[in-house]
Amino acid sequence: MSVLTPVRGSGRIYAVNPVAKLAASLLLSLFLLVTVDWVSALVALVLESVLFVWAGLGARAFFRRTAAIWIAAPLAGVTTVLYGLPSGVAYFEFGLIHVTEGSVQLALASALRILAIGLPAVVLFATIDPTDLADGLAQVVKLPSRFVLGALAALRLVGLFLDDWRQLELARRARGIGDTGRLRRFLNQAFALLVLSLRRGSKLATAMEARGFGGSTVRTWARPSRFGAGDWMLVLIGLAIGAVALGTSIATGSVNFVLG
Amino acid sequence: MTRVTRVARGEGSGPLGAVPDARAEPSGPAGVAPAAAARGTTPAAAAGAELRAEGPAAGAELRAEGWGWRHAGRAEWAVRGLDLTIAPGERVLLLGASGAGKSTLVHAFAGVLGGSDEGEQEGSLTVGGRLPADSRGLTGLVLQDPDSQVALARIGDDIAFGCENLGVPRDEIWRRVDEAMEAVGLDLPLDRPTSALSGGQKQRVALAGVLAMRPEVVLLDEPTANLDPAGVAEVRDAVAAVVRSSNSTFVVIEHRVDVWLDVVDRVIVLDPGGGVLADGDPATVLRERGAELARGGVWVPGFDPLQGRPARQAAAAPAPAAATDARPTLLATADLAVGRTPAAVAARGLDLDVARASALALTGPNGAGKSTLALTIAGLLEPLGGTLRARPALTGDPVPAAAEAVPPAADSDVPVAEGPRARADERRHRREVRRARRRGGTHGRALGEHPFAWPSRELLTRIGTVFQDPEHQFVTGTVRGELEVALRALRLDAAEIDARVTEVAGRLRLDGLLTANPYTLSGGEKRRLSVASVLVARPAVLVLDEPTFGQDSRTWAELVRLLGEQLDRGTAVVAVTHDRAFIEALADRELEVRPAEGSGA
């Protein structure tokens, strides 16, 4: 229900520092965004699959969480096949639809790329506990604690906003203005939610301030955020997968730079 | 799953009998939150002793000299000309009519009033001889709203938060967290999500977070106002245990005196006009100023807010049993199941009927689905099973010939079908309701018997709903606007709108506030406005969710009188409530709602 319900699990992936997950995912994506070709995406995907087994999520949990990616990737592929930039041998044409050699290749590359970037991102992000991430960002990356903890506390309020929104909706029906003017009602309701959330936010800020938050004292951390060898390893693996994928693609001559 | 009882409405209930005791029902099914009881979280009185042994936080002196505060942009001073000294270690109950500046004073001592851009200060205010802003960590503050003071997602982390900010070393933090949890009687795992806690537990987590900081002053700003009676007792006992074993200075604001009488050794009453109205030991202050305080809205033991007069005319209900049956039924349910979403049934098997000029109280433990039931009866949530039907007396639809042949009360007597047939019936019923709702406006057709399918506008004169949080109901920028919303939706002419607004505003003491913004009103004013904005449409059924929650005795008495008048005029009242005095003053019947099995509530 709450956005901040602690994320806990027994898989190995849960033990990794969230900052390492963030970094690994970012590095991997950077390499794969440089080029659009099927070789690099396929190489990355094969290497990643070893990682997915290591993560210890279990097949069911893995496919449940990544279901959206598995649907999005082929859809993007099909769209590209039909409407992608025509080039090479034309296989089929109908109105705006051009199925050509180039568009099929591009489609394959896009679909694989979405999988290669999306799957690790979901696996890494879905297993991040927001509190642990905040600890990591403040203690490892050394972002200002005021900013990080403020954002964390604000995130907790999002769950309450969802409840508020439902109540506001029911109340508008009860007050006799639920029949017409959908757009106006939506704006009115959005404004009411804004007012409610500002008030809630300022109350929470007062409560946090009363507990010494935002003072000049140097803060200590009840939960240590450690960045150990395993975490470095994950970052390196992310880097390596991206580099090998791009390297293979260049070596086989199939590289297709986006900016070039 | 439910139990209906008739409430014997004490006509001549004595003054003591009518004072709602927040500590009522210390035992029994409704008295203890089931979650708390099961986990054995009853605060241990001795637990706090260790806190003193480990960290003897001496109390600090609180002093105000000619102190005043005016919020930025306000013409009036919230507090002015205040001279006050609270000795180290004193336990003080701070009283005063609403608007006397109690909360402002406590926030000032806690150092969270803000700087010169938040308001203007005069005189001086010190904590242990220092400015409040410089004594960060010396004072701890617990606020009213349980939801707005949880900072982190897990209990242990939230309690540790204050210590972290004060720079306490890590090992020491967790030692203090353990102690503080024991002191407030929380026996829960450190990684329990804070979102899974009851209101009373959240407040105890907040108190533990304050205690872990080892403050010299503990300030409580209406810590129990948003809690049900079980939660009130829970928090009060935790505070009492802590107070017994600590040397800190305690100040609590609360308008329910009886809750804190055994805990405090001094009562200070602030004067709304500025300064201190009364100050001394609790017995003396209450003896000499009790009547005055009671008039100002403080719940003083021994003072009946209704002053012995019954809220409803005795003549209207001579013999409840006979009279109820003579009144036409407006709404009736059979084997009703309710929930926010079809996947989450909160309560099922609910049989009740709502008759003209009758009052039904919905009671039961937290999470039992009382509010959900109320919203379903009000035609706002879709019934998830069984039936909810509006009778012709409410819809104004012509009575179909077939229906006339069957006595209206027959539904509830029919043995309920079991198994697949019942489920098929339910599915058919829900399809029917959905279809009716999709059809939208009535356009001269009959309204139909499913309130959930009625157009929003048709609800106004039939079923009015007062939400638990008045702010959820506000849709305009002025009090007058709020009162006019329903009347404009009903397309009444300007003269009629004006007449009705004037009448209701006068009746609920809102006439001086017509141009004010609803969000800027006090708690009691917001409650009165939320009731008034529903009453203007003159609904036949009035559904209220915890209407007396956190209200001072004056607003409480006004609400009870007003609802009594409505009942005398023939309005049906359905109220979700934990308030015994409210039930005794108004209700004909009480329906105890039990959570559906497996609902996880």
The answer on A105 and A22 residing in a single domain is yes
A225, A135 contact by CB (below 8 A): yes
Q: Which of B380, B446, B358 is nearest to A174 (CA)?
A: B380
Domain contains A219: no
CA-based nearest distance A4→chain B, Å: 6
Predicted pLDDT of residue B444: 55
- Find the CB nearest B473 among A156, A171, A224: A171
Q: Would you call A217 and B166 a contact, using CB atoms and an 8 Å cutoff?
A: yes
Mean pLDDT of chain B: 82
Predicted pLDDT of residue B319: 47
Question: A245-259, B9-23, B100-114 — which is least confidently predicted?
Answer: B9-23
pLDDT at A216 over 90: no
CB pairs under 8 A between A and B: 180
Higher-scoring residue by pLDDT: A139, B34: A139
The answer on A97 and A180 residing in a single domain is no
Predicted pLDDT of residue A60: 85
Q: Would you call B473 and A174 a contact, using CB atoms and an 8 Å cutoff?
A: yes
Q: Would you call B464 and A6 a contact, using CB atoms and an 8 Å cutoff?
A: no
Question: A17-21, A87-91, B104-108, B512-516 — which is least confidently predicted?
Answer: A87-91
Percent of chain A beyond pLDDT 70?
96
Predicted pLDDT of residue B31: 35
Class of domain B46-295: alpha beta
Q: Would you call B213 and A131 a contact, using CB atoms and an 8 Å cutoff?
A: no
Structure confidence by residue, pLDDT tens digits, A118-129: 999 988 888 888
Average pLDDT of the segment spanning A212-224: 88
Q: Work out the pLDDT band at B399, boundaries 50, 70, 90.
A: low
pLDDT at B56 over 70: no
Domain that holds residue A169: 141-210
Percent of chain B beyond pLDDT 70?
81
Average pLDDT of the segment spanning A77-103: 81
CA-based nearest distance B106→chain A, Å: 11
Q: Residue B491's closest chain A neighbor by CA?
A: A176
Predicted pLDDT of residue A225: 92
Predicted pLDDT of residue A65: 85
The answer on A111 and A75 residing in a single domain is yes
The answer on A19 and A66 residing in a single domain is yes
Which of A:187-206 have CB within 8 Å of B? Answer: 188, 192, 195-196, 199-200, 203-204, 206
Longest Cα pair distance anywhere in chain B, in angstroms? 82
Q: Is A149 on the interface with B (CB under 8 A)?
A: yes
Predicted pLDDT of residue B245: 85
CA distance B367 to B33: 10
The answer on A91 and A179 residing in a single domain is no
A1 contacts in chain B (CB < 8 Å)? 195
Question: A225-229, A235-239, B317-321 — which is least confidently predicted?
Answer: B317-321
Predicted pLDDT of residue B143: 92
Q: Is A7 on the interface with B (CB under 8 A)?
A: no
Q: Is A56 on the interface with B (CB under 8 A)?
A: no
Predicted pLDDT of residue B419: 60
Predicted pLDDT of residue A170: 94
pLDDT at B322 over 70: no
Domain contains A258: no
Say whether B546 is catalytic.
no
pTM assigned to the model: 0.80
CA-based nearest distance A73→chain B, Å: 30
Q: Which of B379, B377, B355 is nearest to B451 (CA)?
A: B379
Number of structural domains found in chain A? 2
* Structure tokens belonging to residue B178: 């353990």
Predicted pLDDT of residue A47: 93
Predicted pLDDT of residue B68: 93
Q: Work out the pLDDT band at B3, boundaries 50, 70, 90.
A: low
CA distances from B303 to B189, B265, B428 (A): 43, 21, 54
Q: Would you call B107 and A206 a contact, using CB atoms and an 8 Å cutoff?
A: yes
Which residue is catalytic, options B222, B234, B458, B558? B222
The answer on A158 and A112 residing in a single domain is no
A75, A68 contact by CB (below 8 A): no
pLDDT at B298 over 60: yes
pLDDT at B562 over 70: yes
- Partner residues linked to B589 by β-bridges: B6, B360
- Find the CB nearest A2 among B157, B191, B193: B193
CA distance B437 to B433: 6
The answer on A145 and A120 residing in a single domain is no
Average pLDDT of the segment spanning B474-499: 93
The answer on A166 and A122 residing in a single domain is no
- Find the CB nearest B153 among A156, A179, A204: A156
Question: A19-28, B3-12, B217-226, B354-363 — which is least confidently predicted?
Answer: B3-12
pLDDT at B141 over 50: yes
Domain contains A200: yes
Predicted pLDDT of residue B413: 43
Predicted pLDDT of residue B17: 37
Domain contains A257: no
A221 contacts in chain B (CB < 8 Å)? 164, 170
Q: Most A CBs within 10 Å: which of B113, B152, B213, B574, as the mutation test of the A interface?
A: B152
The answer on A120 and A24 residing in a single domain is yes
B193 contacts in chain A (CB < 8 Å)? 2, 4-6
pLDDT at B28 over 50: no
Phi, psi for residue A211 in degrees, rounded to 5 = -100, 30
The answer on A176 and A146 residing in a single domain is yes
Q: Would you call A176 and B485 a contact, using CB atoms and an 8 Å cutoff?
A: yes
Higher-scoring residue by pLDDT: B480, B429: B480
Domain contains A162: yes
Count CA atoms closer than 13 A to A63's CA, side-chain side. 2
The answer on A81 and A42 residing in a single domain is yes
Predicted pLDDT of residue B407: 43
Predicted pLDDT of residue B33: 37
Q: Is A213 on the interface with B (CB under 8 A)?
A: yes
Q: Which of A123, A135, A129, A152 is nearest to A226 (CA)?
A: A135
Domain contains A202: yes
Q: Would you call A207 and B206 a contact, using CB atoms and an 8 Å cutoff?
A: yes
Average pLDDT of the segment spanning A78-97: 80
Average pLDDT of the segment spanning B423-450: 69
Average pLDDT of the segment spanning B64-76: 88
Predicted pLDDT of residue B57: 64
pLDDT at B211 over 50: yes
The answer on A119 and A26 residing in a single domain is yes
DSSP codes of every residue in B178-218: HHHHHHTT--S-TT-BGGGS-HHHHHHHHHHHHHTT--SEE
CA-based nearest distance A148→chain B, Å: 12
